[in-house]
Amino acid sequence: MDNINPKDYIKNAQIIHSQQTVNQAITTMATQLNSDYASEPPVVLCVMGGGVYLTGQLLPKLDFLLEFDYIHATRYHGIDGSVVEWLVKPKNTIHQRNILILDDILDEGITLKAIVDECEKLGAKNIKIAVLVEKNLDIHKPIHADYVGLMVPNLYVFGCGMDLYGWWRNLPAIYAL
């Protein structure tokens, strides 16, 4: 960060979605999920670390049976941005199960596609994706989210699980540089 105080970033950031708007989007998502998963319990997979905020806000609003686990995949934006490194893969217990993946953002879709592919290799029966935000990009994404809380412009966004150089995942609103 080149000696820049992380607090300085927030001073110059613009708010994209307020805390109230984020909370309402999560409540709306929970209502839809409660309807869709009322009959067959899924395995809910939180994508670490960005998915923690959505997961923490969403789980208490879900009134259906579920099993919970986490996964951790990351993508480097260096020489080959399509390479996904697995820190924690899905477990074999997802075989023949409905899977609900929770993540912070659907950006280019490369990491989420790799996660879905891995779940399919393990024999998941039905895979759905819920993201707090989807970035509005003028590109074809290799995957789509089944549940999207909010749309964000093609800017560097942070807060609500999305980080800014490792900081500010804990902000209750969504900001952009």
Residue-wise pLDDT tens digits, 37-59? 999 999 999 999 999 999 999 99
**pTM of the prediction?**
0.94
Average pLDDT over residues 158-173: 95
Residue 37's φ and ψ, nearest 5 degrees, are -110, 20
Burial class of 142 by CB neighbour count within 10 A (0 to 12, 13 to 18, 19+): middle
How far apart are alpha carbons 168 and 27 in whole angstroms?
22
pLDDT band at 174 (very low <50, low <70, confident <90, very high): very high
Instruction: Report the CATH number of the 19-151 domain.
Output: 3.40.50.2020
